[in-house]
Amino acid sequence: MTDTSTSTRRSPLLVPLFALLGVGGLTAYSKADDAHVAAEWAHCGDLPLTWQIYLSAYGALACGVLALALFWWLARRARRRDTWVGDSWPGKLAIAALVVDVPLVALQFFVVWYLYQPSPGGPISCV
């Protein structure tokens, strides 16, 4: 017996939603980092990273990992019912989002790692 409720059929749409939220988090990180660099140059010195930088980097990573975990859960649920996730168009969209999300999660891990690295150009000085 298959469950054909609307929530079951539409739940694969959450995978591309969280993948897009991860892309939005990377975009927010880029904007916050640009603003931070501009503030450092205006201050003529190093400034601590802002909470917006940390929030956007970790939020993007959380959304990317959540998209992967949600797809894994959907695939397990479909397998228990002897079906496949890609049987419907929301499932096919989830698979496409998964293909895009895997390299994005690698980039998001790199961004979080990069937060804790020293500045490659050294301290900013306006002298």
User: pLDDT (tens digit, 9 = 90+) per residue, 1-32?
Assistant: 455 566 566 789 999 999 999 999 999 999 99
Tell me, yes or no, whether 6 lies in a domain.
Answer: no
Asked if residue 56 belongs to a domain, the reply is: yes
Average pLDDT score over the chain: 89
What are the residues whose beta carbons fall under 8 Å from the beta carbon of 87, sequence distance 6 or more? 78
Supply the pLDDT for residue 5: 60
For residue 93, what are the domain limits? Answer: 13-116
In a domain, 59, yes or no: yes
pLDDT exceeds cutoff 60 at 46: yes
Average pLDDT over residues 61-82: 93
In a domain, 5, yes or no: no
Residue 7 lies in a domain: no
> What is the number of structural domains in the chain?
1
CA distance 77 to 73: 6
Contacts of 58 (CB under 8 A, 6+ apart): 112
Specify the DSSP class assigned to residue 57. Answer: H
Let me know if residue 1 belongs to a domain: no
Residue 123 maps to a domain:
no
Q: Rounded to whole angstroms, how far apart are CA atoms 63 and 102?
A: 12
Share of the chain above pLDDT 90, in %: 61
Q: Is residue 60 part of a domain?
A: yes
List the Cα angle 92/94/96 in 5-degree steps.
Answer: 70
Global pTM?
Answer: 0.86
